[in-house]
Amino acid sequence: MKIRERLNLLILVPTFLLTGLTVALMTYRFYTKSLEDQIRESGFSTHLFAMKVEDQMQGYMETVRQLARNVEMFEVIPVNERREVLSTFMKNELSSDKGLLAVWSKLEIYALDSLQDEWRGKRGSSVAGNFYYTYYKKPDGSIGLRHSRSTTVKAVMNHGQYAYIKKKPREMLRDPFRIVYGQGEEKSLHCNLLTPIKVNGEFIGVMTADVSMERLRELVRDSELPEACNSILLYNQFDNPKRPEDERYVSASNTYLSDTLLFNTLQRNVRASVKDLSGNELEDMYRYDLEDSKGKRFMAFMIPVKVGKAPERWYYTQLVPYELIEGPVKEIFFQIAGLGLLAMLVLSALVYFTIRSLTVPLTKITERLRMVAQGKKVEVPEYRRNSDNEIDLMFGALRELAVGVDEKASFSAEIGKGNYSKDLKIRSEDDILGKSLVQMKKDLHLADETRKRNEWISEGVQDFSEVMKKEHESLEDLTFQALQKVIRYIDASQGFLYVVDETGEEPLLRLTAAYAWEKQRHLDTRLAKGDGQAGQVWLEGEMIRMTDIPQGFYHINSGLGDAEPKEVVIIPIQLLGVTYGVIELASFNNIGERELDLLDKVLETLAVLLKNNSYGFAEVPSYERR
């Protein structure tokens, strides 16, 4: 045998076989990893849509909590006005929220007042004479007040949900059901969000909102999934055959639900994963492999939807045909396999002529490709970047792959830590994974900012309510504590609080509290309606917001000397359209929409206290007492 033939037999053939095995192994690993990435991307999509449903329901639950907190502060309202003021809060909230069908509250008989004999049998009460308001939206959009039909006190106080929550005071998410609010009206499909009302830890009643299911159906059906996929929201009793279908789940398409085998298998898998009834927390997401009656494979992604502190759960599920997940991966797999085969042929020809010159670079490439397949960080050696040599091109592609994998891994790790300022370079227009990761960052960042904003406002309202619940020595002490809490929480620099004084012949706007750099200024200023900026706000009942403040018009005396504020807002303190005071705030920073939303909520609470001013105004002004 000639030496060339022997070399070809001893070197070329083994090299050919080894290279083929390497390409096959790499292609298989790429296939499995790409398939897992496709599955993970589908899971991200399911998670994002589940968050939309959960955020919608969390918003409604927060509305119910706020109404409950209003009732818990009933002691600051005069006895004869308590029912009217609290029911007005409920009616206004129902009018302003398009997603609510009804708001109702039932209290214990002696919880609110002792006016049971006057209210017994009237609208807004029951045969027990307790506080029992049920406001609902009529078909024409107007607000109706439903009358209690119970004929005995026992039937009123020991009925259904009320009795259950009274026994176990906790928040509750009730599955959808149909009910008729007014005579002659059609049944409305809605779900209940309930929260107990407690004063000093003692149960006094329930606050409930009935939420229309139409908005949730729109969210599920507008999930923008491919036509072959399906989006399903399973309610808590989704596997109860006694309930109608639209009270068990809502589906973007009825195609798969008509397949009994597929849907029954889905129910069994979901129910097997639910451990909430035993007190354990659910996982973030579950994944199942399913088959329909025709043998078609599906991948099911299920995420529990949590609402407030309610132990009941809904389950958002997406059904994706396995061919949609595996199809793109197979296409790339065959492309890579074809390229691998072509590379093997080229390599064989090159090895035939230049066996020794190719041994070292091929070994290096093989080693680094294995490292990439194993997820290790790869250092690619220098090569001729402008060369058209196949070996140099392979080095370049390997370098781009290694850099891309490293960038995406670093980007994912930073996003996981909450660092949303991290940027990712999109490698090309077809970089699907890179674009998906960037979109994921945007969606997670938006959800995180929204959550922080709502938590900030909720904590501010709670802190302000706690301050207002305390006993105060005088009106000046009450208003100063309110002003101090507002300024510190929104990081303002100076503020003044005026209260409408109607004790004289003419109503005046009287300064009762001033605050600047943690030192209270004892001032006594009286303004007529229309005098100055505060008097103008009292007259018109509208907020004044100044960002371009003239030189010398307004200054703050701080520890660093006098300085001009960056923004000044003057806001009326109103309740049901009546102004009871004015608050003026100056800040070195911008007062944003988040701070204004907080002020809108806490000033309404302060307006309730000012309306029922039980302190009166001091006979001797503060500056004369010094």
354: number of Cβ within 10 Å = 10
Q: 168-185, pLDDT tens digit by residue?
A: 999 999 888 888 776 667
Q: Which residue has the higher pLDDT, 268 or 167?
A: 167
Tens digit of each residue's pLDDT (9 = 90 or more) over 559-578: 444 677 889 999 999 988 89
Task: State residue 594's pLDDT score.
Answer: 87
Residue 115: both structure tokens together:
């006016």
pLDDT tops 50 at residue 248: yes
For residues 395 and 387, give the distance between their C-alpha atoms in angstroms, rounded to a whole number.
11
Q: Determine the Cα–Cα distance for residues 541 and 579; give it in Å rounded to an integer.
A: 7
Better-scored residue on pLDDT, 619 or 229: 229
Residue 6's pLDDT is what? 66
Confidence of residue 521 (pLDDT cuts 50, 70, 90): very low
pLDDT higher than 90, residue 208: yes
Confidence of residue 254 (pLDDT cuts 50, 70, 90): low
Helix (H, G, I), strand (E, B) or coil at 371: helix
Q: Look at residue 544 and give its three-state secondary structure.
A: strand
CA distances from 378 to 366, 374, 425, 434 (A): 12, 10, 19, 20
Mean residue pLDDT across the chain:
79
Position 276 pLDDT exceeds 80: no
Residue 524 scores a pLDDT above 60 = no
Query: Which amino acid, one-letter code, is at 614?
Result: S
Instruction: Report the greatest alpha carbon distance in the chain.
Output: 127
Decide: helix, strand or coil at residue 596: helix
CA 330 to chain centre: 37
- Which of 2-16, 110-124, 330-344 has the weakest average pLDDT? 2-16
Q: What is the mean pLDDT of residues 193-208?
A: 93
The pLDDT of residue 138: 87
Rg of the chain over CA atoms, in angstroms? 34
Q: Output the CA torsion 150→152→158→162 (10° steps).
A: 30
**176 CB-side CA count, 13 A:** 25
Q: What is the pLDDT averaged over residues 65-80?
A: 93
- Res. 2 pLDDT band, cuts 50 70 90: low
With residue 112 as reference, give the H or E element that holds it. none
Least confident window among 49-53, 74-78, 600-604: 49-53
Q: What whole-number distance in Å separates Cα of residue 50 and Cα of residue 73?
A: 35
Q: What digits encode the pLDDT tens for the residues 447-456? A: 778 888 888 8
In the chain, % of residues over pLDDT 70: 82
Distance CA 566, CA 589 (A): 6
Per mean pLDDT, which range of 38-52, 361-375, 424-438 is the poorest? 361-375
pLDDT for 7 equals 61
pLDDT at 624: 34
Residue 1 has pLDDT above 60, yes or no: no
CB count within 10 Å of CB 180 equals 12
Could you please report the per-residue DSSP string of 218-287? Answer: HHHHTS---TT-EEEEE-TTTT-TTS-GGGTEEES-STTTT-HHHHHHHHHHHHHH--GGGTPPPPS-EE
pLDDT of residue 573: 92
Report, as an integer, the average pLDDT of 215-228.
72
Cα gap 43→299, rounded to integer Å: 10
CB atoms within 10 A of CB 307: 21
Long-range contacts of 503-506 (CB under 8 A, 24+ apart): 503/616, 503/617
Residue 100 bridge partners (DSSP)? 211
Most confident range (mean pLDDT) of 111-125, 262-276, 336-350 is 111-125
Q: Flag whether pLDDT at 87 surpasses 90.
A: yes
